[in-house]
Amino acid sequence: MSGIKIIFKVYVFAVSIFMLLRTLLFVAKRHEIINDPVTGMNDIFSAVIWSIRYDLLISGFILILPFILLSIYDFRPFSKLKSVAFWWIFILFSISFILTASNIPYYIKFFQPLTLKAFQWFDDPAVVFGMVIQEPKFWFPVIPAVVIMYIFYLFLKRIFQNQNDTSLPFVKKVAYHFLWLLLMFITIRGTVAGAPLRVQDAFRHHNNLLNDLKLNPVFVFEKSIEDYFKNHSGDTHFMPDSVAIAITQKYLNVKQPVNENPISRQVNFDSLPDKKNVIVVLMESMAAWKMAYFGNKEQRTPFLDSLFRQSIGFANMYSNGIHTYAGIYGVNFAYPEIFDLHPFKTAQIKQYYGLPQILKDYDYQTAFFIPHNKDFDNLGRFLISNAYDHIYFEKDYPQDSIRNIWGVDDHFLLNFALKKIDNLYKNNRPFLATVLTISDHAPYYIPPWIKGKNEDIRATRFADWSLKDFMKKAAKKPWFDQTVFVFVADHGEGHDRIYDIPLTYNHIPALIYYKGVQPKIISKISAQMDLYPGLMHVLHMNYLNTGFGMDFFSEHRSYVLFNHDKKYGVVDHDFLLIFDREKIYGLYKYRQKDRNNYSKTYPEITNKMLQYGQAQIQTAQFILNHDWQKLH
Q: CB neighbours (10 Å) of residue 12?
A: 11
- According to the model, what pLDDT value does residue 543 have? 97
Q: What is the mean pLDDT of the chain?
A: 90
Confidence of residue 123 (pLDDT cuts 50, 70, 90): low
CB 615 within 8 A of CB 604: no
Report pLDDT for 346.
81
Assess whether pLDDT exceeds 70 at residue 303: yes
DSSP letter for each residue of 469-536:
HHHHHHTTSTTGGGEEEEEEES-------SSSS-GGGTEEEEEEE-TT---EEE-S-EEGGGHHHHHH
pLDDT of residue 440: 93
Sign of CA dihedral 595, 601, 602, 607: positive
pLDDT at 552: 93
The β-bridge relationship of strands 277-283 and 483-489 is parallel
Check residue 561 and give its pLDDT.
98
Render pLDDT for 509-540 as a digit per residue (tens, 0 to 9).
Answer: 999 999 999 999 999 999 999 999 999 999 99
**Residue 69 pLDDT exceeds 60:** yes
User: Could you tell me which residue, 208 or 141, shows the higher pLDDT?
Assistant: 208
Q: What is the DSSP track for 538-590?
A: HHT--EEE-SS---TTT---S-EEEEETTEEEEE-SS-EEEE-SS-EEEEE-G
Q: Is the pLDDT of residue 284 over 90?
A: yes
Residue 617 has pLDDT above 80, yes or no: yes
Higher per-residue confidence, 301 vs 106 = 301
- Pick the closest to residue 236 from 318, 324, 340, 353 (CA basis): 340
CA distances from 323 to 192, 243, 331, 343 (A): 41, 30, 13, 12
Query: Distance between CA 582 and CA 499 in Å, rounded?
Result: 18
Contacts of 60 (CB under 8 A, 6+ apart): 184, 185, 187, 188
**pLDDT above 60: residue 498:** yes
- Residue 137 pLDDT level (bands cut at 50, 70, 90): low
pLDDT beyond 90 at 306: yes
Residue 312 has pLDDT above 60, yes or no: yes
Say yes or no to pLDDT of 76 above 80.
Answer: no
pLDDT value of residue 80: 85
Alpha helix segments (H runs only) across 29-40: 31-34
More confident residue, 134 or 280: 280
Is the confidence at residue 233, as pLDDT, over 60? Answer: no
pLDDT above 70 for 278: yes
Q: Which residue ranges does the chain devote to CATH 3.40.720.10?
A: 241-626
pLDDT at 14 over 90: yes
3-state secondary structure of 352: coil
Q: Are 174 and 54 in contact (CB under 8 A)?
A: no
575 and 609 Cβ atoms separated by less than 8 Å: yes
Please tell me whether residue 432 adopts helix, strand or coil conformation. strand
| CB-neighbour burial class of residue 79 (10 A; exposed 0-12, middle 13-18, buried 19+) | exposed
* Confidence band for 78, pLDDT divided at 50, 70 and 90: confident
Q: Looking at the predicted structure, is the pLDDT value of residue 122 above 80? A: no
Q: Which amino acid is at 124?
A: D
Positive/negative CA dihedral, 530, 536, 540, 541: negative
More confident residue, 375 or 266: 266
Three-state DSSP at 264 gives coil
367 CB neighbour count, 10 Å cutoff = 22
Residue type, 499: Y
| Spacing of C-alpha 308 from chain mean position | 26
Report the 10 Å Cβ neighbour count for 243.
Answer: 15
Span 432-457, average pLDDT: 93
pLDDT over 90 for what percent of the chain?
A: 66
Domain 241-626 carries which CATH code?
3.40.720.10
- 0.85 surpassed by pTM: yes
Helix (H) or strand (E) holding 47: helix 41-75
User: Measured between alpha carbons, how far is 493 from 291 in angstroms, rounded to an integer?
Assistant: 12
pLDDT of residue 169 exceeding 80: no
In this predicted structure, the answer to whether residue 65 has a pLDDT above a threshold of 60 is yes
Per-residue pLDDT, 168:
63
Which residues, at least 6 apart from 487, have a Cβ–Cβ distance to it below 8 Å? 281, 283, 304, 307, 467, 509, 510, 511, 513
Secondary structure in 3-state letters for 389-418: CEEECHHHCCHHHCCECCECCHHHHHHHHH
Give the pLDDT mean for 5-31: 91
DSSP type of residue 620: H
**pLDDT over 70 (residue 1):** no
Q: How far apart are CA 337 and CA 616, in angstroms?
A: 10
Percent of the chain with pLDDT over 70: 94
Please name every residue paired with 38 in a beta bridge, in sequence order, or none if there are none. none
Other residues' Cβ atoms within 10 Å of the Cβ of residue 185: 11
Phi, psi of 210 (to 5 degrees): -60, -40
Core vs surface per residue 209-235: b (16+ CB within 10 A) or e? bbbbbbbbbbbbbbbbeebeeeeeebe
Looking at residue 405, its amino acid is I
**pLDDT tens sequence across 552-576:** 999 999 999 999 988 999 999 999 9
Residue 168, Cα to own-chain centre: how many angstroms? 56
Strands 312-318 and 507-513: antiparallel
For residue 429, the number of C-alpha atoms closer than 13 Å in the C-beta half-sphere is 14
> Looking at the chain, how many residues does it have?
632
Q: Where are the beta strands (DSSP E) in 42-119?
A: none
Q: Are the beta carbons of 70 and 6 closer than 8 angstroms?
A: yes
Tell me which range, 341-350, 404-413, 427-436, 576-585, is most confidently predicted by mean pLDDT. 427-436
Average pLDDT over residues 336-342: 87
CB 558 within 8 A of CB 615: no
DSSP 8-state symbol, 272: P
Which residues are CB-neighbours of 522 under 8 A, at least 6 positions away?
312, 313, 314, 315, 316, 552
Give the residue, 74 or 387, on which the prediction is more confident. 387
Confidence bin at 132 (pLDDT 50/70/90): low
Position 377 pLDDT exceeds 70:
yes
Q: Where are the beta strands (DSSP E) in 259-407?
A: 265-267, 277-283, 312-318, 365-369, 390-392
